[in-house]
Amino acid sequence: MFRYFSLAYKNTFRNKRRSILTISSIAISLMLFGVLIAMYHALFMSQPTPGQALRLVTRHKVSLTLTLPVADEAKVRQIPGVKEISVWNWFGGTYKDNRDSRNFFARLGVEPKAFLSIRTDMRMPDDQRKAFLTDRTGCIISRDLSENLKLKLGDRIVLKGDIYPYDLDMKIVGIFDDPDATQSLFFDWEYLRDLLPVGRRSNISTMAILVNTTDDSPKVAKAIDDMFAESPFPTKTESEGQFALSFVEFLGNIKLFLLLICAAVTFTILLVSGNTMAMSVRERIKEVGVLKTLGFNSEAILGIIVGEAVCISLIGGAIGIGLASVLALLGGKVLGGFLPQLHNLTVTPFTILVALGLSLVVGLVSSFIPAWNAAKTNILDSLRYAG
């Protein structure tokens, strides 16, 4: 096959229109495949950051919509291995116009002092930290959010309540950098708590927990859930990354969806490439007879035809991976606001190898049977072939 590579490469573009359409089809399919594999890798195979490895989130075991008593916070604080704990309460609400995707970002009420201790990777000037600790109506936002919404220190931001029937009018007192908290706003939980009727002030949605070491994480998680297993408010404690993925699970089995779509893409590529090669081989049956007359054996002809298909597939695959890299970069900026794992969505070397390997397999599988049949056709039948 490699001996006749140059001949196979030249034959790749003998029918330019068909080759370009086939390469385009493979490129688009591999682009989708590459992005899906990159998402799968980011969601289910990426390693937590050093900060994430030390943080846990405790919520109601049944559903995120159910609350926990605020008194549980003091009980959890007494568990060995717990270094710090803070209320982590989702507010929701509407900022300006919900139809603009830029206006959707995380809005969480926290206990400022404990929260700043828990966010070990957060970078923010000391004066802004102090302002967040002392200004009850102050809030802090991530730098990417400030850039997207063109907000700066001192600006006011109003969130219209939906889960809570109250509007929050806050002043931006800090802009932070944190790889694990993008497209996010944090405010003082006490500000919202004081607006609530007395009967609702004792309920929280989640607790964020910082443990002493990574070895403490599974022990603390088990201890918390065991403590409240028989209470009216059973808990589920998981890592920060797993908690973020729980929002994706509302859509169903995402892992299965991604794998099924990848399988469908692979099958589509096989159909497109196989149809192209079958058409190409049928048109060149007479050429096969001429090549055999000139001394080419069946193995050489098989190698030339298969090599042509592999060239088309690899060219399409390389273009598709390039497009996937660009799409992943753009998609990460959008999806990172919903899931921190996707903020730095990239096509990794692993994804590139998988996609190029798939291109190679598609080229081989789709062309082997037509090439085998053509290579086994005798000279007389080849020359008599009328199409």
% of the chain surpassing 90 pLDDT = 28
Report field, pTM of the whole predicted structure over 0.75: no
| The pair of three-digit structure tokens given for residue 201, joined into one six-digit string | 């002030």
More confident residue, 180 or 250: 180
The Cα–Cα gap between 331 and 324 comes to 10
Residues 38, 336, 101, CA angle at the centre, nearest 5°? 120
pLDDT value at position 250?
Answer: 53
Q: What is the pLDDT of residues 139-168, one digit of tens each?
A: 999 998 899 889 999 999 999 988 888 899
The confidence score (pLDDT) of residue 67 equals 87
- One-letter-per-residue 3-state SS of 102-141: HHCCEEEEECHHHHHHHCCCCECCHHHHHHHHHCCCEEEE
Pairwise CA distance, residues 113 & 86, whole Å: 9
Of 32, 38, 40, nearest to 253 by C-alpha is 40
Return the higher-pLDDT residue of 367 and 228: 228
At 110, is the pLDDT very low, low, confident or very high (cuts 50, 70, 90)? very high
Q: State both tokens at 44.
A: 């289910």
Domain ranges for the chain, please list them: 2-46+253-384, 67-232
Dig out the tokens for 54 from the structure. 């030390």
CA dist 173 to 84, 142, 151, 168, Å?
23, 11, 11, 15
3-state secondary structure of 386: coil
Q: Higher-confidence residue: 108 or 198?
A: 108
pLDDT of residue 201: 81
Q: Tell me, what's the pLDDT at 221?
A: 93
Band the pLDDT of 363: cuts 50, 70, 90. Answer: confident
Local confidence band at 252 (pLDDT 50, 70, 90 cut-offs): low
| Listed ranges 118-122, 170-174, 288-292, 379-383; the one with the highest mean pLDDT | 170-174
Identify any residues that bridge with 186 across adjacent strands, giving them in sequence order: 108, 140
d(CA 233, CA 231): 5
